[in-house]
Amino acid sequence: MKTLCLLYFLFLFSISPNAQSYTPDWQSLDKRPSPSWFKDAKFGIFIHWGLYSVPMWSPKGTYEEWYKYWLDNKKLFGNGNFTGTEVYDYHTKTYGADFEYGQFARMFKAQDYDPVAWAALFRKSGAKYIVLTTKHHEGFALWPSKEASRDYGRPWNSMEIGAHRDLVGEYAEALRQANLKVGCYFSLREWDNPLYKPETMELFVDRHLFPQLKDLVNNYKPDLIWVDGPDQYNDKQWKTPEILAWLYNESPVKDSVVVNDRWASNTGQRHGDFYTREYSNTNSTFEKPWEECRGIGFSFGFNQNEDLEDYTQPQALVLTLVNIVCQGGNLLLGIGPTANGKIPPIMQERLLQIGKWLEVNGEAIYGSRPWKQNIQWSKGDQNWKPQGKHYVSGNEILKQTVNPEPGYAVKEVFFTTGGDDCVYAILPRIPKGNFTLKNVQATSKTKVCLLGLKKKVTWKQKGKDLIVNIPLIAFDEIPCDYAWTLKLEHVR
């Protein structure tokens, strides 16, 4: 009896104090607390890699990963004026009129894919989580998914054709060895799946989508699931509450997984563990964690048609990260490997430039929260907006910071707080001499320093403002590029 009692109490104490059963309805599901790691991570990398990585081409200002849709429908959407046949014309000229998109599967060989090298690069970039397109809208799976090949009636996963490798499995293993969170992008939409139509949606979900998602989760145990492409179908048609109830109650990642908000036509910025935005630059505040995603260029997938001026400058990438983080969000920055598995050098360079900046300033980013005022503006009109564009270029943040148009205000300071009476003031311009931090009140314990600089920084209070005096900095003493951080201890 004593042994049985001991086992019983050990069982009780083994149960997580946060364990809870969720019912398949939003009132219950929305009560699930979002795992804290996501809100603390701040910076992630989005990898678009699939059959579209073979042609690697679309008109500037469009999503290259939509190559199949542009090809089949002879229409285009994005930044620019298009006839709609650009991709079709390119495809027929390059591959021939009889070359079907599905034939790219044999050419998607990933022969130079080195997930360990990828993970090493991501670690150096300072990213804390990575999201790979395990299956995009074409339905081709990067793991041995039996549902993909069965429903398309042909080899339609990377184990059976092309690379003949479990690309997701190798990715997940390499990331975990590098202590990075594993994210899986999973498309709901499948353009050519014979069941993906209104009259057979229930069969599509029950026979294809839900079993395929379970297979992905059970095999690779992702830390994050990033769904996309709900089209016009609502949460009842997608059976979203039932899927999330399984994920939160029964799956092997029930206590740790984080999911986004794109599960149905009516769930965006309403349900999910975090909300998403895409290629925007508007200021935002949400009651839940949120994330902005964008590519380094105008496409998520690598577009060989893009030139240097189409890529976001390194200072703009850093300031984009800072602008998002000071408002409580994360940046998910997109890269696109080639079909052979190589990350283009310019993308590698951008990631390393961000990582070098984070080595000096990371304490102002990771685990931070918005302060009482997240941005300090200069005088002028704060309502500058890019004109006539669907996707906002990453370089537009420079117009709001270091290169404004006449009459418009700039964001002079981005504020974050790390708690424990510590505030960070991140400056887009390297400070010289006296710099005014508006509405910052010193205390008897106040200390000020510039991260990465050994020289002493002095300050004085003037009314409601803190006047910081930056000593003369020699060229070889500049602690970093792109943006500079004042650490303010014990201020109000």
10 Å Cβ neighbour count for 15?
8
Name the H helices within 142-284.
Answer: 146-152, 167-177, 201-203, 210-220, 235-238, 240-249
10 Å Cβ neighbour count for 230?
22
Sequence ranges of the chain with CATH classification 2.60.40.1180: 369-491
- How much is the average pLDDT of 414-434? 92
What is the pLDDT at residue 283?
Answer: 80
pLDDT digits (tens, 9 = 90+) for 5-48: 444 444 443 444 346 799 999 999 999 999 999 999 999 999 99
Copy the structure tokens of residue 429. 């311009």
Angle made by CA atoms 364, 365, 367, in degrees to the nearest 5: 105
- How much is the average pLDDT of 161-169? 98
Q: Nearest CA to 257 among 224, 229, 281?
A: 224
26-363 domain in CATH 3.20.20.80?
yes
pLDDT at 128 over 90: yes
| In contact, 54 and 300? CB cutoff 8 Å | no
pLDDT at 379 over 90: yes
Task: Report residue 281's pLDDT band, with 50, 70 and 90 as the boundaries.
Answer: confident
What is the pLDDT at residue 20?
Answer: 77
Domain spanning 369-491: CATH superfamily: Golgi alpha-mannosidase II (2.60.40.1180)
Task: Report residue 387's pLDDT band, with 50, 70 and 90 as the boundaries.
Answer: confident
Copy the structure tokens of residue 46. 């989005």
What is the pLDDT at residue 155?
Answer: 98
Spatial separation of the C-alpha atoms in residues 351 and 119, rounded to whole Å: 12
Burial class (CB in 10 A: 0-12, 13-18, 19+), 354: buried
Sequence ranges of the chain with CATH classification 3.20.20.80: 26-363
pLDDT digits (tens, 9 = 90+) for 174-224: 999 999 999 999 999 999 999 999 999 999 999 999 999 999 999 999 999
What is the pLDDT at residue 3?
Answer: 52
Query: How, if at all, do strands 329-335 and 43-47 pair?
Result: parallel
pLDDT digits (tens, 9 = 90+) for 69-101: 999 999 999 999 999 999 999 999 999 999 999
Q: How far is CA 459 from the centre of its chain?
A: 38
Local structure of 358: helix, strand or coil: helix
Q: How far from each other are the two terminal CA atoms of the chain, in whole angstroms?
A: 60
Q: What is the mean pLDDT of the chain?
A: 94
| In contact, 368 and 329? CB cutoff 8 Å | no
pTM: 0.95
10 Å Cβ neighbour count for 61?
23
Q: Which residue type, as a one-letter code, is found at position 208?
A: H
Report DSSP letters for 272-297, one per residue: SSSEEEES-------SS-EEEEEESS
